[in-house]
Every structure is written in structure tokens, then in C-alpha cells.
């Protein structure tokens, strides 16, 4: 079964750091691009970051550029999002999502992990 499972969310103070993980299974990890998408409480979806199957290129939303870093580990089939200098507006459910092979769309999503930035 194709699956993405996020972890690492939690409560963090403004200015703090957190690393999210996404464990992938059921597909050839290096073949697919991966993304992070977030959803603030009661709000819509916001794309956060993209990493290609080969780890280059990587892209970021302006709202997180310079603060967040996306990476992937082929030995453990894991996707990561290192989040630094966190702000209240980063509070959201963070989803990892797989890019459609040979096409445009996000065809597999994890269940999400919640990040709360608050003092």
C-alpha cells in the first residue's frame, strides 16, 4: 500500500525550531517528487515546499524561504522539513504529498502533523 506518514509536530515557542518527518512506503521513493503543504486552523491549503526525486531542484513559498529547508533521505525513504525561526503564522497542520509521476498533481497525501507556535 502506498503510504505517507508524518511525524514531528508539536508545540514550539516563537523563534524556535522543529523538524517534521514523513515516512514513505509502497512506492519507489527516488522516482517521485514530494511536497509539504500546510493548512492553518479554519483556513485553506498553502503549498510550502517541493523537492524533486533527485533532491534537486528544491522550491519554497515566499512565506517560508530562508527559514525552512526541505530534504529527503533515500536510505530511510523519508522526507524532512526543518523549520527555523518559527512564527505564530506557521501554526498549521502540515501534510506531505507525493507529486504525480509524469504529471501535475498531488496524488498521495499523509494524514498530517500539527505544528503550534505559541508562547
Residues binding another protein (CB under 8 A): 35, 37, 44-47, 50, 59, 61-62, 95, 97, 100, 103-107, 109-112
Measured from the CB atom, the residue of 66 and 103 that comes closer to another protein is 103
CB of 61 to another protein, least distance (A): 6
Measured from the CB atom, the residue of 84 and 112 that comes closer to another protein is 112
User: By the 8 A CB rule, do 78 and 21 touch?
Assistant: yes
Q: Which residues pair with 97 in a beta bridge?
A: 35, 109
**Rounded distance, CA 90 to CA 33, Å?**
23
CB of 77 to another protein, least distance (A): 19
Cis status, amide bond into 57, omega within 30 of 0: yes
Q: Where are the beta strands (DSSP E) in 52-91?
A: 58-60, 68-73, 78-83
CB of 95 to another protein, least distance (A): 6
Amino acid at each position: 500500500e502506498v503510504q505517507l506518514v508524518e511525524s514531528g509536530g508539536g508545540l514550539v515557542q516563537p523563534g524556535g525550531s522543529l523538524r517534521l518527518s514523513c515516512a514513505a512506503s509502497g512506492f519507489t521513493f527516488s522516482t517521485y517528487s514530494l511536497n509539504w503543504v500546510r493548512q492553518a486552523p479554519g483556513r485553506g491549503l498553502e503549498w510550502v515546499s517541493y523537492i524533486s526525486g533527485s533532491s534537486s531542484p528544491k522550491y519554497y513559498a515566499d512565506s517560508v524561504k530562508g527559514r525552512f529547508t526541505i530534504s529527503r533521505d533515500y536510505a530511510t525513504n523519508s522526507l524532512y522539513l526543518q523549520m527555523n525561526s518559527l512564527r505564530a503564522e506557521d501554526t498549521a497542520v502540515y501534510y506531505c504529498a507525493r507529486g504525480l509521476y509524469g504529471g501535475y498533481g498531488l496524488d498521495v497525501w499523509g494524514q498530517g502533523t500539527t505544528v503550534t507556535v505559541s508562547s
